[in-house]
Structure 1
Amino acid sequence: MGHVNRGFTLSHVAEMLGEDEEWLFEVAEEIDTEDGQLWVVGVGEDGVMAFPDDGIENLKELIAIHQNSHGEGLP
């Protein structure tokens, strides 16, 4: 099998990183599509935020910035 692009839903990423999904959604809204945020939409669905591997790395950096500016843990 050749190269496969994969992405992870926001809920999966929140679980992987041990973060609150609602808080992570607010943080992730700051990421642009060119930085690895995308929306996956199915028939009859509004869509779900998702991230490829590089998007998760960018999200980790943004989480650290938020935690350092607001103290450790959730705001």
Structure 2
Amino acid sequence: MAAVTRVFTPRRAARMLERDEKLLWDLADRFEPEDGVLWIYEIDNDDGIMAFTDFGLENFKEIIADQIDRKD
């Protein structure tokens, strides 16, 4: 597996996938690090910031195609 070289915030990922940010938050609740989700911690933010790798974006695309777009 290739090394992670960049991550995307939920807002950026939602824009890239042309989806609502809340949808990504709901879907990401089931993600594990091996699915492409990471938590980033700053010195003044103990809660952390969720971010997605390129692999995480691909997982979102698959889930959306299989579970959401298929219903439409």
TM-score range, shorter chain: 0.7 to 0.9
How far apart, in 1, do the equivalents of 2:4 and 2:34 lie?
Answer: 19
Q: TM-score, normalised by structure 1?
A: 0.76
**Cα pair 2:4 2:53 within 8 Å, conserved:** no
Offset, 1:39 = 0.9
Partner of 2:6: 6
How far apart, in 2, do the equivalents of 1:56 and 1:41 lie?
Answer: 21
Superposition pairs for residues 1-75 of structure 1, below 5 Å?
5-45=5-45, 46-68=47-69, 71-72=71-72
How far apart, in 1, do the equivalents of 2:50 and 2:5 lie?
Answer: 16
Report the count of equivalent residues.
69
How far apart, in 2, do the equivalents of 1:63 and 1:28 lie?
Answer: 12
Instruction: Give 1:27's aligned amino acid.
Output: L
Offset, 1:4 = 7.0
Offset, 1:66 = 2.4
Give the fraction of aligned pairs with identical amino acids, expressed as a percent.
42
Unaligned runs of 5+ in 2: none
Q: TM-score, normalised by structure 2?
A: 0.79
Unaligned runs of 5+ in 1: none
Structure 1 runs (4+) greater than 2 angstroms displaced: none
CA RMSD of aligned residues (A): 1.9
